[in-house]
Amino acid sequence: MPAYRFRSDQYVSRGFKDLAISFNSNPSTDDFGAVKNERAINQSVRNLLLTILGERPFQPNIGSRVKGLLFEPWDPFSADAIKTEISDCLGRLEPRITVQDVRIEDNSDLNEIQVELEYKITGENITQEVTFLLEKT
Amino acid sequence: MAAIPSQLTSLDFFEIKESIKSYLRTRNEFTDYDFEGSAAAYLIDTLAYNTYYTAFNANMALNEAFLESATVRDNVVRIAKQLNYTPRSIKAPRACVTIRVQTQQSLNGTTFPEFCTLSAGDVFVARNFNDTYTFCVTRDLQTTVDASTGIAVFDPVLVYQGNLLTFNYTVDYTKRQDYIIPTEDVDTALVYVDISPNAQSQEIDTYNLAANVTALNSTSRVYYLEESDDLRYRLVFGDGVLGRKLIDGEFIRLSYVTTFGEEANGCKDFAFIGTIRDSDQRAIAPANIAVVTREPASDGEARESALSIKFRAPRSFATQNRAVTETDYEHIVSEIYPQAASVTAYGGEKLTPPIYGKVYVAIRPKTGNKLNETTKAKIKNDLKPYTVASIDPVIIDPTTYYIIPKSYVYYDGNNTNKSGAQLASDVLRNVDQFNKNGQNNRFGGRVDTSKYNSMLDNSDPAISGSVTQMTIGQNLDKFEFGNVFTQCLDFGNPLYNPSNYSGSPSGGSGTSCSTDADCPEGQICIDGTCQQDPNAGGGNSGKCNPSFSVVKSGTFYATGFTEDLVNLTMQGAGTNSTAPVVSSQSIANENQVLVPVNIRDDGKGNLLLVTKRDEVEVVLNNAVGSVDYEKGQVCVGPIAIGGTPDDTERLPMQVLPYGGSITVPPGVDPTLFDVSVFPIDWKTNDISIPNFDPNNFNGYNYGDPTGINIIDYPTDTFTYPVDTSCF
């Protein structure tokens, strides 16, 4: 049971449905894998944060500076810059959510940082929390 | 029917992307394509990007396939190649110098060497406002040494800006060979192709650029030139039908000049850096070499731009190397007879009366005045393969209009440090340049006073304006000394008709007179007063006699017009009269010295033969020809010329054309002659000079006592300016 319910899937235009970025096929239908609703938003958030500015053809403003910031000397200012960048990026490019909190945990020994992102889906009074790792690769 | 993306050939990425999204909106599989973070948006971007580049590539490839839309130079050149058009290469500036060499005595100590040789290669450096540039000679030059002084003079030496380079190829049948000149800034006019049977052989054949395949055979030593990739030129040799085919193992030696082109224009003061050796193979010391610049570097040009190729290639193709229009004839004749200084062609239908089926080509050679009949026949023969069947080319000598401008130039003396004479010399230098420009079709078929004046006005900032009177001169040249002749000169422009300016007599009938000549036209002298001529037709206007002439000849000696005859004329008929005609036949052989005479018109269409005795004009014959003022035709004769001051069988005739412009008829080559410039400082002498004032013949005495209204008797035979240029 999901933490919230979207409107009926019958009203397709009100739900969200996206391709699974893994491009794995659905074992039962042998078709494209699909993600829906909050998982689609979650995937979109990750996509945006991991896209470098200028990576998308002819659209230099899509993406974030997060990957670049990972390689800055690590200090509280860098951590703060990453937080700000995440909020800004999602504020600009993901109208479906409102970011409420970004927490960063430094795992420098493993060359990674852990991001805990808390956001609210617009129009739904439910807060989602997503945790993912950013690695210097 | 399901919608499909419709903008797949668009050249705008976002249009394509929107088109794909519009399609997805009609489907219900996915919905997130509107959000930029979605995987669908990423996939759509990839598809749109791919589609965009495919469309762009298709568009670009097709654009580049047509001359009109191609933008990449290499592609433009390739398409032009199909039209047999070779783009013009960069052109090296050329200069002309004289080199004077003082040789040392030969080893025997008594004689000087026989000759000196200037080796091909880089021989000079010279500067202009940009930089210092190297200049080269393209072939070895040899000159003889003066046996008494030991001085050898190389004159003229044409030097080209750039470096003389060589590159060799050996013909190899086992490979597919491209003979490419491996540098981009090559002046193709300075490419020399020498071919020998092998690298060691001294036997050298020089190959020339093939301009036209019609005259080639299997042994013609020619090469073709075409531009290939990256601004390099490729040499193509004959295939054994159109030009000799190269044989395996033959050695090709290319010499060529790489140049900076137009940026080196204006270099002068050449410093010698080459090698001159005498016939004893001793190098001449630099101290013994003196260089004089005859002409500074000029004529350098950039290579032809892609835009220019696009414009010219189809037009060049249109002529197809055939003589159809007049300019085709001019172009082809200047190619088959490079010694022509100027060529003018015109169809016979332009003549009066028209002569159909003939094209007249007037050629002025670079040396001498006229072509001989053999050369004319050869040019006609050479021209035949190009001409349209049934059109007969006729090679003629050009008629020359010697245009004699007399200019009064106003300047502000407070605005310049130059004296009037210095200013005049600056103006004359400009006029000289104006005259040199465009030997072919000079002045564009018209000589306009306003254009000429504007050229004068631009000679110096202090010049505020100018007034110019132009007269036209031609030589009478179809006579032999002592033989009676008649020759008509066509000046092609209407002349001032002096009768129109003669006005009415103030006194009218009843004015006192001594001869008929004192009375106005239409009246005669009866009992000491002018009366209406009862024999004249009705409606006589009672006009005064014209008071100026518009046709004047140079001085000459007319057979039969002797000192005695003049004396007799003066005794009998009085002076300054156009009435009497005395025949020399009636005079006994006493003083048969011929008097210097001139021809002028009487303003009524007749030519008078006049001389001067005690500063008074004496008319010797009042019917030595006629003038048609409307048509500008002057017919002299019958008269026999006994001699001219310079002993040439030419007599200058000068006329005053009506209006401010001179039309140049077909086949006529105009040139400025004997230009006179009279500067007037209007700050100190504010006088106005009208273009033409029929009522004032006192003249404006600014260095020229005869003024602007009337024309002078020409003093010298008209001669075409000698081209002293090295080029």
**Which of A17, A47, A93 shows the shortest C-beta gap to B30?**
A17
pLDDT tens digit sequence for A99-113: 999 999 888 788 888
pLDDT class of A11 with cuts at 50, 70, 90: very low
**Distance (Å, whole) CA B307 – CA B723:** 35
The whole-number pLDDT of residue B443 equals 46
Check if A66 contacts B (Cβ < 8 Å). no
B685 or A134, higher pLDDT: A134
* Percent share of chain B, pLDDT over 70: 86
The whole-number pLDDT of residue B625 equals 92
A6 CA: distance to closest CA in chain B (Å)? 14
A109 CA: distance to closest CA in chain B (Å)? 30
A58 or A123, higher pLDDT: A58
pLDDT class of B584 with cuts at 50, 70, 90: very low
A123 or B70, higher pLDDT: B70
**Distance (Å, whole) CA A82 – CA A102:** 9
Long-range CB pairs of B644-650, under 8 A, 24+ apart, other chains included: B644/B554, B644/B555, B644/B556, B644/B557, B644/B717, B645/B554, B645/B555, B645/B556, B645/B596, B646/B716, B646/B717, B648/B717, B649/B477, B649/B479, B649/B480, B649/B481, B650/B475, B650/B476, B650/B477, B650/B717, B650/B718
The whole-number pLDDT of residue A88 equals 94
**pLDDT at residue B156 is higher than 60:** yes
Asked if B180 contacts B186 with a C-beta cutoff of 8 angstroms, the reply is: no
pLDDT class of B579 with cuts at 50, 70, 90: very low
B14 CA: distance to closest CA in chain A (Å)? 8
Q: B450-454, B466-470, B539-543, B565-569: which range is least confident on average?
A: B539-543
pLDDT tens digit sequence for B338-391: 778 778 888 888 877 888 989 998 888 877 778 888 889 989 988 888 888 888
**CA B591 vs CA B235, B560, B561, B594: distances in Å:** 77, 11, 11, 9
**pLDDT at residue B192 is higher than 90:** yes
pLDDT class of B206 with cuts at 50, 70, 90: very high
Average pLDDT over residues B562-572: 76
**pLDDT at residue B541 is higher than 60:** no
pLDDT tens digit sequence for B471-481: 899 998 888 88
pTM comes to 0.61
pLDDT tens digit sequence for B607-663: 999 888 877 788 888 889 999 999 899 999 889 998 898 888 889 999 988 877 888
**pLDDT at residue B702 is higher than 70:** no
**pLDDT at residue A12 is higher than 80:** no
Nearest partner of B12 among B60, B42, B56, judged by Cα: B56
Bridge partners of B208, per DSSP, are B222
Q: The complex's ipTM?
A: 0.85
CB-defined contacts A:B, below 8 A? 66
Distance of CA B293 to the CA centre of its chain: 24
**pLDDT at residue B569 is higher than 70:** yes
The whole-number pLDDT of residue B276 equals 93
The whole-number pLDDT of residue B587 equals 46
Check if A62 contacts B (Cβ < 8 Å). yes
Neighboring chain A residues of B42 at a CB cutoff of 8 Å: 21, 47, 56
**pLDDT at residue A23 is higher than 80:** yes
Closest-CA residue of B relative to A10 is B28
The whole-number pLDDT of residue B550 equals 87
**Which of B39, B48, B49 shows the shortest C-beta gap to A18?**
B39
Task: Give all strands (DSSP E) within B540-632, no chain letters.
Answer: 551-553, 556-562, 594-601, 607-613, 616-621, 625-628
The whole-number pLDDT of residue B86 equals 86
A63 CA: distance to closest CA in chain B (Å)? 8
